Chains A and B, each alone.
Chain A
Amino acid sequence: MAQARSLPQSPAHRSPALPVESWRTRIKTSVLGYGLILPSLLVFLTFFYGPAIFLGYIAFFHWNIFSANSKFVGFANFITLFHQPIFWQSLLNTAYYVVVLVPVTALLALALALLLREGLNRGRGAISRAFIFLPHVTPVVATSIIWVWIFNPQFGLANTVLHFVHLPSLNWLESVHWALPSVMIYTLWHSVGLYTVLFLAGLASIPRSVIEAATTDGAKGWRMFKRIFWPMLGPITFFVIVLASINTMQTFSQIYTLTGGPHGGAGGPAFSTTTDSLLIYQTAFLYLHFSLASAMSIILFLLILILTLVQKWVADRYVFYR
């Protein structure tokens, strides 16, 4: 995702290397092209586009992977789903998770980027940037292990810190109210570096002349941010929010690992951390209700699409594109 944005938007390919002379050459060119794209095309079709189309099929059938008799049931899977309280609970949990985490992540990333920018300009700060970015590339399960221990009510660092500032200790992952916020803290730690780096790229792309002109006019601090950085960072802020929303709506590994516990029943306590992707996983691969899970997948698909379109609509109104 992050890669795609960076690619220069070059128009159609430049003058073809192979001169197009006759239909024979043209066919030869095309055959060569198809041969070269074939390996990646096969992978994309078999493992991504094929399944994406197949998803629509499973969701409208009463369907079981292990038996041949599947039958068309229309929207029955969706209706069953809407009668399950746990489905609504998972949507609520996801909404809570996304609505809190996305703005917090974006704001913190922006603050960190502004902080690091100054350092980078003076040749320092590259090391700080590396340390803030590092968690993003660490494997989720391996680092979740230590966070489970950090959140341990008795011996964990989290409560030690709370104790140090004279706040009451919390039960973190074992409490219905704090389990999801604990996952948010982990995700914030794990992902904020990614968005910080994206903001840094955005800051680096602001023309030097603009900043110099503003400085000459006496802008600094908050005014500088409000008048120069914030409007100039509009497009990248939009991108960060879209990317963070898509990523947080699909959080899986850390929820599975942090809330798993010795019994493996992730999503607890009392379903307080059961988000949509976790419920899809459990429905499909624990309870083997593939059709229900597919219906849920389609809903997730649509939710992500709608959210992105709404964000695009807002961005078109308020973001200043150079």
Chain B
Amino acid sequence: MPKIFRLRTWLLIVLPVLFFIPIYWTFVIAVGYHGAAYHLPPVWVPLFHWEPVLYVLTHTHWLRYVVNTVAITAATIILVLLTSALAGYALAEIPFKGHSLYFLLVIGVMMLPQQALLVPQYVVLFHLHMLNTYAAMVVPFAANSSSIFLFRQFFKKVPVSFHEIARIEGVSTLRYIFRVAVPLAKPAVATSILLTFIAAWNQFQWPLIMTNSPQIQPIELALSHYMQTYQANWRELASAALLALSPILIVFAFTQKHIVQAVAGGDLNAKD
């Protein structure tokens, strides 16, 4: 039987298309003509009318929200890299007292159910006077278990002699970490950046609870408010959604292999 008629071949084409339809449809409605969302049967061809997208960017506060989100995401990434490099190095190379206890603490964070902690976390932020600040959306995520582990794994692969030489040459530990060890752990840096970017950009529930002023809210939260206020305005809604989506789509398009492998935690291609 020719390959083209095989069910498997067809499924491999049809299923990805099915998964992509919702995202594609957002695009169609956003750049379509005014009533595109209400058309029956549904329209499938985008018209590339960019006015709604431009309108959302210029006439509403969306630019502000985009800037907020970019700032929050960038700050989180930088802090995560710093804390993970330091803690990862400590766990990989330094036999300090309490080493294994800290190892358990880092694992333990991943076991805590996030939904059950929101109330006390809110109280802690309240007492630290952090509610409704940018810091509230950055500092709690400035350290991340999986990044720490990732850096630890890579630092363990750096030959011991490197460190010995650096020590004899009188290079300080911090300098060694950031000048020698981190550049040797580039894959860990890339993976941490990607995963932190996705997590930070997609934040919704945390800012929903921890902030209330519109000036500092990130795009996902703004989108949710916008949705509740203007539910009938489908073209603008879809355009706004597209603005929140596109950075993720663009980054994913270029790094999908890396992201998928980072999430799966290893090579996905069978060894044959």
Nearest chain A residue, comparing its CB with the CB of B139 = A43
How far is B126's CA from A290's CA once the two chains are assembled, in angstroms?
13
B112 near A52 with CB under 8 A, answer yes
Find chain B residues with CB under 8 A from A137 CB.
Answer: 198, 202, 248, 252, 259
Answer yes or no: A165 CB below 8 A from chain B CBs: no
B270 near A29 with CB under 8 A, answer no
Known contacts A16-B95, A39-B87, A51-B123; decide if A208 and B209 are in contact (CB<8 Å).
no
Interface of A, helix, strand, loop or mixed by DSSP: helix
What are the interface flags for A28-41 relative to B under an 8 Å C-beta threshold, 1 for contact and 0 otherwise?
A: 01111110110111
How far is B22's CA from A150's CA once the two chains are assembled, in angstroms?
8
Answer yes or no: A182 CB below 8 A from chain B CBs: no
A-B contact count (CB 8 A): 360
A112 near B15 with CB under 8 A, answer yes
Interface of B, helix, strand, loop or mixed by DSSP: helix
B266 near A6 with CB under 8 A, answer yes
Answer yes or no: B244 CB below 8 A from chain A CBs: yes
Answer yes or no: B4 CB below 8 A from chain A CBs: no
B17 → chain A closest CB, angstroms? 8
B42 near A118 with CB under 8 A, answer no
B148 → chain A closest CB, angstroms? 6
Answer yes or no: A10 CB below 8 A from chain B CBs: yes
Find chain A residues with CB under 8 A from B102 CB.
Answer: 37, 41
B11 → chain A closest CB, angstroms? 6
How far is B115's CA from A275's CA once the two chains are assembled, in angstroms?
12
Most chain B CB within 10 A, of A32, A112, A145, A150, is at A145
- Which positions in B face A, CB cutoff 8 Å? 8, 11-13, 15-17, 19-23, 25-26, 29, 37-42, 82-84, 86-87, 89-100, 102, 105-110, 112-124, 126, 128, 139-140, 142-143, 145-146, 148-150, 153, 156, 160, 163-164, 167, 173, 195, 198, 201-202, 204-205, 208-209, 219-221, 223-224, 227-229, 231, 234, 237-238, 240-242, 244-245, 248-249, 252, 256-257, 259-260, 262-272
